[in-house]
Amino acid sequence: MKTLIKNAVVVLPEGSVETSVLIDGKKIATIDAAIQTTVDQTVDAGGKHLIPGVIDDQVHFREPGLTHKEDLAHASRACAKGGVTSFLEMPNTVPNTVTVDVLHDKLKMAQSRSLVNYGFYIGATPDNVGELRHARRTPGIKIFIGSSTGNLLVDEQAALETIFAETILPICAHCEDESTVRENAARYANSKDIADHSRVRDHRAAFIATQRAIDLAVRHQHRFHVLHVSTAAEIDLIAAGGDLITAEVCPHHLFFNVDDYASLGSLVKMNPSIKTKSDNQKLWQALLDGVITVIATDHAPHTIEEKQQPYPACPSGLPAVENSLALMLNQVCQGKCSLEQVVKWMSTEPARVWGIQNKGKIEVGYDADLALVDLSLTQTVLNENQETKCGWTPWHGTELTGWPVATWVMGHQVFRQEDGKSQFDSSVLGKEIEYRH
């Protein structure tokens, strides 16, 4: 199958140019404005921008075990609609992904269910270093240094030293200090105020755990990625960590802060908690400065009934994969950053950080994972339009300008939007992501 995408402004590694892109099979075959060849399909993309598909390196798609909240079929359609062509999924499914066998079961399951490309982390426990050493078909190791949804936790120093010393895969971690969170939780034990979530999971908890993890990485000279940075204070730690350390920020930590509890309540309860307006601004600046280089969603759906339980019973997490690119394109349209920066944060850098082969750039020979975006399209995010199984979004009612209107995964068009309606083609599914390690 050959597809010619004509006349888009194409975001190439060396800059953006109006040109045409020929897809042959699963690959980008030619990039040339004057291309003349017989094809199966021509897409006239004049006035739109073609970018490499988003690689979301932190999602919770809940399969197996928690499929009343989300599953691979719904979540991967949400990805396709959001311009996300590859995802890396976290290990707090049931059973936890803490053995090579469970990892391989998950890969097999995704092969028949995921519309987009997929990868799965292997989770650390205090005593599974043997499994962590043998895992290969994974981007890396996830450690919950602080507990969150589920029961994964590695908090003992000796176990952490062993993991950093004896494994070679890149490590990423959820950094909130468990003892600090427990002490704070005891102090607010009788609270019914959702805003206390940010006092329990406070700035100090994030700082202590990130400092501890970076110290381990530097001493053991181990590649380490700080997941979902939420505070300004962590930025200096990341900058001082040098080349071994990379970091990411989520849209909710850029765009929500403690003032939003009043209107959104538990919909914006997540771990790490949302912090202050000043943290929002400093995290944004850290992206612009190149200290934080990745944007990921931490897409973590729960049913609306679960979320509507009173604090503290309501679970932490929110869905975001289908709106993250549009949220960032809206920033482009407001002049806060460039489209090229968004491509770097959401595609090129995640590919580099996780050693992903042949993705993250529009280049001849690379996989044809592409998103066509319309920077003049304004649409309102609505609960009733969400593809995620949980059927709600904290951005309900928000008007955004700049939306993905077509998505290709390995050369196959999986999504297009026409006259405001989403069309999906699931006749060809996504593929397992390959890594350099």
Tell me which residues touch ligand DOR (CB under 6 A): 60, 92, 148-149, 174, 270-271, 298, 300, 316-317
Query: Do the beta carbons of residue 20 and residue 7 sit within 8 Å?
Result: yes
Provide the minimum distance between the beta carbon of 236 and ligand DOR in the complex, in angstroms, as a whole number: 23
Provide the minimum distance between the beta carbon of 437 and ligand DOR in the complex, in angstroms, as a whole number: 24
- In the structure encoding, which two tokens stand for residue 361, read together? 């750039």
Q: How far apart are CA 209 and CA 155, in angstroms?
A: 10
Annotated catalytic, 298?
Answer: yes
Nearer to ligand DOR, 299 or 359 (CB): 299
Nearest-Å Rg of the Cα atoms of the chain is 21
Provide the minimum distance between the beta carbon of 298 and ligand DOR in the complex, in angstroms, as a whole number: 6
Q: How far apart are the first and last CA of the chain?
A: 31
Beta bridge partner(s), residue 43:
5
Helix, coil or strand: residue 214: helix
Nearer to ligand DOR, 8 or 300 (CB): 300
Provide the minimum distance between the beta carbon of 49 and ligand DOR in the complex, in angstroms, as a whole number: 32
Q: How far apart are CA 60 and CA 255, in angstroms?
A: 20
Alpha helices in 63-177 (DSSP H): 72-81, 100-111, 129-134, 157-166
Nearer to ligand DOR, 22 or 59 (CB): 59
- In the structure encoding, which two tokens stand for residue 401, read together? 């300008």
Nearer to ligand DOR, 250 or 368 (CB): 250
- Which residue from 240, 335, 236, 255 is spatially nearest to 295, judged by alpha carbons? 255
Nearer to ligand DOR, 89 or 387 (CB): 89
298: left (phi over 0), alpha (psi -120 to 50) or beta: left
Nearer to ligand DOR, 83 or 317 (CB): 317
Alpha helices in 323-414 (DSSP H): 324-333, 339-343, 349-353
Query: Do the beta carbons of residue 53 and residue 319 sit within 8 Å?
Result: no
Nearer to ligand DOR, 171 or 329 (CB): 171
Provide the minimum distance between the beta carbon of 385 and ligand DOR in the complex, in angstroms, as a whole number: 23
Provide the minimum distance between the beta carbon of 302 and ligand DOR in the complex, in angstroms, as a whole number: 7
Q: How far apart are CA 224 and CA 220, in angstroms?
A: 10
Provide the minimum distance between the beta carbon of 227 and ligand DOR in the complex, in angstroms, as a whole number: 8
Beta bridge partner(s), residue 144:
174
Q: How far apart are CA 371 and CA 422, in angstroms?
A: 14
Of the listed 56, 57, 298, 369, which one is catalytic?
298
Q: How far apart are CA 71 and CA 78, in angstroms?
A: 11
Which residues are annotated as catalytic? Answer: 298
